[in-house]
């Protein structure tokens, strides 16, 4: 749990009013992130791309309740992952002692039926924990674009679990019994019409992508 953070996305959107004009409206959404690395100047957090999309301001809240502003390091919409950077000099010494970098597991070793734990910022209320089992592996899920109506299959194979994954859990960790991250939860792929079918992006499928995103600033420098 010290490796899990809550992410608040503040964005400004243009909305049409009754008189045909437009006005700017601020909206807030909540998600989750996993601390996966630290370099000399930044703490690096992985989350879903849809958690940070369109953000004007990102705020990361750590397990001890302290919040700091963060920046997007890199995103990959195809795999729905993003890396967020938190400057180390904005994190207090007390918070640094209260948090830790997560240990990544090997999702290729998973077996159907083994236990799983999901941690995330469910409904924006703060950290919560749910448990279940690995229900299926290598699932492919169809997504429908609400604007165009076009249906596409997910680019990455997914872990299916019956651990509850709710709005706000997106970007959080799916763990094995050793406390290792085996998946990145995605509430976007869940349905309100069914129960016991949550999905997570298999961590081993996106390890290389995350490595590239973490180094993106260095590549562009």
HSE-CB of 157 using CA atoms within 13 angstroms: 9
**Cα angle: 122, vertex 128, 134; to 5 degrees:** 90
CA dihedral sign, ordered 91, 55, 13, 192? negative
Whether residue 203 contacts residue 182, with contact meaning beta carbons closer than 8 Å, is answered with yes
| Lowest mean pLDDT across 185-189, 190-194, 197-201, 202-206 | 190-194
Across the range 105-114, mean pLDDT stands at 96
**Count of other CB atoms within 10 angstroms of residue 112:** 11
The pLDDT of 195-219, averaged and rounded, is 84
* DSSP secondary structure string for all residues of 40-108: SSEEEEEE-HHHHTT-SEEEEE-TTS-EEEEEEEEEETTTTEEEEEEEGGGS-HHHHHH--PPPB--GG
pLDDT at residue 220 in the model: 39
Active site residues: 50, 80, 170
- Range from 8-12, 42-46, 111-115, 200-204 carrying the lowest mean pLDDT: 8-12
Spatial CA neighbour of 170 closest among 38, 40, 34, 73: 34
For residues 113-140, average pLDDT: 91
Task: Return all residues near 39 (Cβ < 8 A) that are at least 6 apart.
Answer: none
- Kindly report, residue by residue over 51-100, the tens digit of the pLDDT: 999 888 899 999 999 999 999 999 998 899 999 999 999 999 999 999 99
* Most confident segment among 17-26, 61-70, 118-127: 61-70
């Amino acid at each position: 749990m010290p490796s899990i953070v809550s992410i608040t996305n503040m964005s400004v959107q243009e909305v049409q009013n009754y008189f045909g004009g437009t006005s700017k409206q601020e909206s807030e959404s909540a998600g989750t992130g996993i601390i996966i690395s630290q370099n000399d100047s930044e703490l690096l957090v992985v989350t879903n791309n849809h958690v940070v999309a369109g953000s004007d301001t990102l705020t990361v809240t750590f397990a001890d309740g302290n919040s700091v502003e963060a920046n997007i390091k890199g995103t990959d919409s195809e795999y729905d992952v993003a890396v967020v950077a938190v400057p180390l000099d904005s994190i207090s010494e007390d918070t640094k002692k209260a948090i830790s970098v997560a240990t990544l597991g090997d999702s290729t070793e998973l077996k159907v039926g083994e236990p799983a734990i999901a941690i995330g910022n469910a409904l924006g209320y703060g950290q919560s924990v749910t448990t279940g089992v690995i229900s299926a592996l290598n699932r492919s899920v169809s997504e429908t674009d609400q604007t165009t109506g076009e249906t596409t299959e997910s680019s990455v194979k997914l872990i299916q679990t019956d651990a509850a994954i709710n709005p706000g859990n997106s970007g959080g960790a799916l763990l094995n019994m050793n406390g290792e991250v085996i998946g990145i939860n995605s509430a976007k792929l869940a349905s309100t019409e069914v129960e016991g079918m949550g999905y997570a992006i298999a961590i081993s499928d996106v390890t290389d992508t995350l490595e590239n995103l973490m180094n993106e600033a260095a590549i562009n420098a």
